[in-house]
Structure 1
Amino acid sequence: MKTIIQLNKLSKKDYKYAGGKATSLAILLKNNFNIPSGFVITTTAFDEFLSYNHLRAKINLELSRKSFEQMRWEELWDTSLRIKNMIIKGKVPPGLKKQVKEIIITKQSTPWAVRSSSIAEDSHASSFAGLHESYINVIGIHNLLEKIKLVWASLYSDGALMYRNELGLHLENMNMAVVIQEFMPGESSGICFSVNPLNYKQAIVEAVFGLNQALVDGDIDPYRWFINRKTGSIMNRKTSMITQKMVTARNGAELIKIKQSEDITPLKDSDVHRVYQICKRSENLFKIPQDMEWTQADKRIFVLQSRPITQQIKKENDQRPWYLSLKRTFTNLENLKKKIESELIPHLIKEAKELDNLDLTILTDKQLADEIEKRKKIVDKWEETYWKEFIPFAHGMRLFGSIYNERIKPEDPYEFMKLLKGQDLEAIKRNKRLKKISNLIDKIDQKTPINHRSKDKLNTEIDTFIEEFPEISIGIFSNEEMRTYIKKLAKQLKNSKKPNEENVSHLIQVFYDSVPNSERKYAVKIFEIGRASYQLRDNDNIYMGRLKHCLEKTMKEGIKRLKNKYQISLVNLNPIDISSLLKNPKHQIKQIKRKNLKKSEGKIKVSQIVGQPASNGIASGLARVIQEKKDLFNVKKGEILVIDAIDPSMTFVIPFCAGIIERRGGMLIHGAIIAREYDIPCITGIADATKIIQTGDYIHIDGDNGIVGIRPKIEK
């Protein structure tokens, strides 16, 4: 099969090599629709690219590291990042490079649109809309070849991998064609649904000023017309005060502000009818309702894409819509950053402080019950905000990482994380304060006789520490117990690792130098968003931990009051049960029976396991397996921490650990972030880590390759 075919030479039988988008465009072109001229890079070219760079086996190895069903979204993104970086760094075979050059030799200054045309794309059963990358206003052979590679790489985007797995498609031999067309900088653009998915008697036309990308990305709310399918008349319209439009910029596009008069719309009513009639023609041609992308240039309507409207049955517990919503545009992230930094975080901190200042001992039982319910509602409200606002902002790191890798093409796909380190993380602040306590203890131990003023200073420092970082108590210890445990922890911090404060200014400058001067402002902003996202990824959980601590305090006070009234265990009661018992002693509660595992139970005998490398380095030591949060206070210096999932309230033990093994996976999880701050090897994504490994096993951890060696402890 040829590696390049002109669109006007393409036929329906070439679908296997040209993909859905290219084949649909070719059919429209042959039926006299206005289609920008162009050609398709076939799947044969992609196969040749993979073979030329010896990538197919490497990609399949990454895809087989762990079952997709067991992967969290962070792990899926990590897998995607590693594969995409392989493709971005790859070399375009000389033969393909020569063919592309010959086609555009007479059009060196012509801008092009470069878009995906996957084999699974644009079918009536599934839609890959938004999962693969597209690039517009691409000028010159070098830029064109680079964008072709980026489209190929998007075949392995996290969203595309998840969707293909959901559809049961084979991941090992995925393929991608690329459509390259002359770019049409339209005066207005939009989408038309020949059938409204919510009302089959209607069609919908949407339009914005300028290019379509802002509409597709969700940055601009479009004008919308509802059309009677039977008569073709406009039934209703939804206006929008559009203040921005997408226009061409150097090798791409940008949003600019516009002044809009209320009587000016992106389309006249006559043009709305033209767009609908074209979409209806496409529906008649393909014999299925169409979702058509269009642009208006020089008073002509050009079809950029036409695909079936998919009607998918929503599966129970389907996480895909939420997962894909995590991917945010630059504009969306900028707005989210402002909202989080200036509104949400200050409010969260303030609310936690106000709750923490209340003296619970003066409350009656009923007042305490009401306070528990109130705090439960507050925590639930912030949990919702966390998933809706904070988690999506983590895409700032992902976006910066993707852009950094596209520009720099580093050997290490995670090099960008070095640029994000060294931020003012709450966990690092807390650990530095703990180190200060450690130094005070060391001074006291060296003095003979003991200086009582120094001892008083130490106790004051510990009490201040408990007050400022209440999340460390994990809601299970009294203040007196906490003082003892903090002293124990602080002593182990002597000569422990300090946060790595490597100077990365040269890497930052290399990144800035990799973008044209016209895009420097954007590069600075995306770097700032990446750093803010990195910092918030850890800090938001600490702030949430402090809020939850306020709820735990009321629960602990409630349990304390109830203990003398009931001859049953109150350890596993939830907030509502505690509140109900305080109000009504006859309230019936369900006791949670916890299974006590024997030491041998659940043990899986394995000598070596493989996970995801999350922080480089090699270390050996005895394992400390964390089954409950209070086990953290038994961690000894030089041990390998083995845990299901680390949250920021637990990271105070990291400085004196030799390494970390975590069941939860990903480069963006808290354990991995703090491990990199301290240059401690870390491996994540090991299923059943706390069952496979036991406390006392001798562990060798290779954070460069994600390998854990296990030598079981000798039972006495």
Structure 2
Amino acid sequence: MELLNGRGSGNPTYVKINTMMELTKNFRNLNKDDVFLAGGKGASLGEMTYAGIPVPPGFVVLSTTFDEFIKKSDLAQEIDAILDKVDHKEVHLVENASEKIQGLIKNAVMPENIAKEIKKKFKQLNTEYVAVRSSATAEDGVENAWAGQLDSFLNTKDDNLLGKIQHCWASLFTPRAIFYRFEKGLHSTKISVAVVVQKMVNSEISGIAFSVHPITEDRNQIIIESGFGLGEAIVSGQITPDSYVVEKEPRRIIDINIATQSKGLYRITTGGNEWIDIPEPKSSSQVLSEAQILEFADLIMKIENHYGFPCDIEWAYEDGKFYIVQSRPITTLLNEKHNDLNRFTNKNTSLEHADGLPVYFEMTMAGFTDRLRNNNLSSYEIGISHFMKDELDYISLIQDQNKIGSAIIKDFLNNPSSIYNLYKEWAIGYEKMLDRFSVVFDYDLKKFSDKKLLSLSDDLYSFYREEVSMPGFTDGFMFYAEKRLNDLIMEYCDINKLKNFTEIFTTLTASTEPSFFNEKESDLSHVSDTESKNNLLKKYAWLNSSYSGYKPYSKKNLEDDLKDVKDPALAKKQLSDNKLAKQDLIKKHKFNDEILAIVKLTDLFIKWQDQRKVYTLSYAVLRSRILHEIAQRFKFDIKLLEFALTEELPLVLNRSLSIDVLKNRRDSGVLFIHKNGKLQEIIVGEASESFVAKLQAPENSGASEISGTIASRGKVTGKVRIVMTAKNINEVEEGEILVAPMTRPEHLIGMKKAAAIVTDDGGITCHAAIVSRELGKPCIIGTKNATKILKNGDLVEVDAENGVVKIIKK
């Protein structure tokens, strides 16, 4: 009888358990609905077996068997006691807890009935070697959190099978998994693990395949990559495989690329894998014949047709037969058509234009996450982010801002507390985020292990996306409310024969809450020593950063700011005066309920929009620092990794996602399409460029003036300085007119120098509107085309009393 080394000493004994309980299931008795019993891997292998797809035979040690093992080994209370003492914010405590729990599971005695059942099922496979793989099971797709962290063992034999299974069970309590439980509030939720035991194919040939071309995204093409020996050599990128392109309709081979393979990875008699030289002429020969290529293409189409989506497939070939080892969706190809693009026109779309890269912008791309939903608020139904080829430049498009803005106002009119409560809920996560930023920013990433570094990357993404959440609807309100309030006040003035529209509009939309700019000025006024300076450098570490990544707020930046500190009492008085003026105006006039609702919401959303900027930029800082360390350690080009989304990063590092996909995004331009807060499609190349080109407002070089919305009143004359992205903000000189698509915190140094600010986009709660009021500088927002009509050096008058920019001399 097999027995693992148990705790304690003396003669070995087995623990008796319920013999009626089903402990294992063969693949043929499982399907895609059995995730909670067999985990994701086990259910997928069962589904393919059920569909008649050739899968190496095997069985799954069910998750309920693991639960019974924990129960009968009396480990539940010990594990709970260890977890109860964990402060998940302290890394060393999490690691200590992980070590203890994994030790308990690995060293526990295997119950007799489980051991016998597993041994019986192994014997039925009639094989010497099996692969043993963990397969986590949890509700709501939490299984993904364990991906790449749970253990797998190849070339496992009868004599060490039970030990490897207990190691798989123990891997449910890795440091990352424990941390994730606490972050998600799952430490009291049942999460279990199944174990897949599968006959190992001793591959003569192996490889990967895509049922849709992963680079060109041509859905009528299949890509097959093949090499001699075991598939690990291709997946790890250690050999260059042959590649074949097969057209689906009509079914034919349209391209064959033969690579020379001088060595291959093969299993040896002792059970391990070994690199063996491949002599000529075999090393430079075609790996699969044309007949085999077409045979395998038929199998690939069978898999895609069964699942109903494009698939990424790992396969092996032994004794004249193809076997499928794994099949999963191609994550970058989720929609077959671009019909959603047709809903965008330059009349119904808000364009936000600035510098940025996909990986730092991904939170904003999603727009809005489930944690902040209620009956009227939803994410952008359709949102698109376009990243220009060869530039740190993006355009963000929001198609349904009218729907979002009107829903917010309607919700507020029906129940004002609903929006306030939503903000309070979000603010709790925001405060946690500020604490987390302070902790993670101080990490010495070079001391992190590879596994710990990748775990931190995933945990950061999950925390910002789920624990805090991107309040993207603030943009929807901003764009809609500015237009709606403008129309309502214009109508009010016409009915009452009033001629002070500008005064009423700017008074009602003036800031009454301090912004981060006010807070920073106040902090600067209290700097007294080196320690207080260092605290400010850390607190505002995100200030100079952007969607292009981390740019430090340096000691020189701080010293420059200290030379130009504004008296915080003046800002406080201005906010107080704004509040009193607004109250007096409301008492004087009989504004309707909708106007009053927009005014109250504007006070809230100015603050919320401001905090959202801290959210997005603090994420960009931490993501950038982690990504640079990953790039350096794993020898990847950082400029390519910045075109991979966080969820794609593990696929890039293990070579499952071709680096050519990222190169194509960078070099050809890329559209990311989100629908209801979830990534739907990625469009690369000419289709993305032509789509954005048709939305760009036409230039009107003959125009003598440009109109927009007044954000801060005043009138000045000066020369134009176009600032398309933050990278050229330092070009702004004293007294110039700063003209930009939209401003962000990283533009602040130029805004201070400018005599006035003009933007293409923005609404009453946008950054340019808030900061220009605080700086006391004229500002006109939402001109749509100022950056296209105006040129550097043009002499203009910014009349922010009437919302007009007049061109005096070009």
Q: Which TM class, normalised by the smaller chain length? A: 0.3 to 0.5
User: TM-score normalized by structure 2?
Assistant: 0.37
